Amino acid sequence: MIFDSAYRIFEVTVVTFLIYISFMVFLRFSGKRTLANFKIYDWVLSITIGSVAASTIVFEEILFLEGVVAIILLILFQRSLAHLSVKSYKARVILEGRPMLVFYRGNFLQKNMKKGGITKTDISQNIRLKANATPDKVDAMILEKNGALAVIENLSPEGEQDLFNDLGIEKATLMEMIKNRMEN
């Protein structure tokens, strides 16, 4: 049988339309960042909301209002986490992680590359695409918290110190990593 009844098809159509309209309203009021640079908790929210929405649409046992309440609670929880990450540096590091230096002045930092799940090929490709350069022309490359690779050229000494501060590393630690890489 293709469908149980015309009424059930009508019900799925109405609930689908209502869920769609609800999403549009929720996204409008949940803030622009929801649609911009996704953090890990934004991805989890998206997947969870999609699951709740699909269940609400497909399963007769789940009422439309139950699905909407669940989605509202998920969005409120996500907004609370986002607010907490703005207010607390420690919470931000726990929730979002830190950017990671994966390439520095001609050196591929294997340990960080392995942690980040990227290869020399990934780095070289991004250098070509983003900086239209070669590795010897790039001062640093950062694996950002959102998974993007940032290419940094012409890094001044002041900019270098700001970069190290942002990454939470000391230059001596970085030099030790490079030294160990060369010895191995």
Q: Name the band, by pLDDT with cuts 50, 70 and 90, for residue 119.
A: very high
Min mean pLDDT across 2-11, 44-53, 81-90, 154-163 is at 2-11
Buried b (16+ CB within 10 A) or exposed e, 9-43: eeeeeebeebbeebeeebeeebeeebeeeebebbe
Long-range contacts of the stretch 165-171 (C-beta < 8 A, 24+): 166/99, 167/98, 167/99, 167/100, 167/101, 167/142, 168/98, 169/101
Domain residue ranges of the chain, discontinuous segments joined by +: 6-94, 98-183
Instruction: For residue 67, give both structure tokens.
Output: 């699905």
What is the share, in percent, of the chain residues with pLDDT greater than 90? 7
Instruction: For residue 76, give both structure tokens.
Output: 């409120």
Q: Domain 98-183: give its CATH code.
A: 3.30.240.20
Q: Give the H or E element holding residue 182.
A: helix 171-183
In 97-168, which residue ranges form alpha helices assigned H by DSSP?
110-116, 120-126, 157-167
What is the predicted pLDDT for the residue at 152? Answer: 84
Residues contacting 1, CB < 8 A, separation 6+: none
Q: Name the band, by pLDDT with cuts 50, 70 and 90, for residue 172.
A: low
What is the tens place of the pLDDT at every residue in 22-63?
Answer: 877 776 665 554 555 667 777 788 888 889 989 988 888 888
Compute the distance between CA of residue 182 and CA of residue 184 in angstroms, rounded to an integer. 6
Instruction: For residue 166, give both structure tokens.
Output: 């942002």
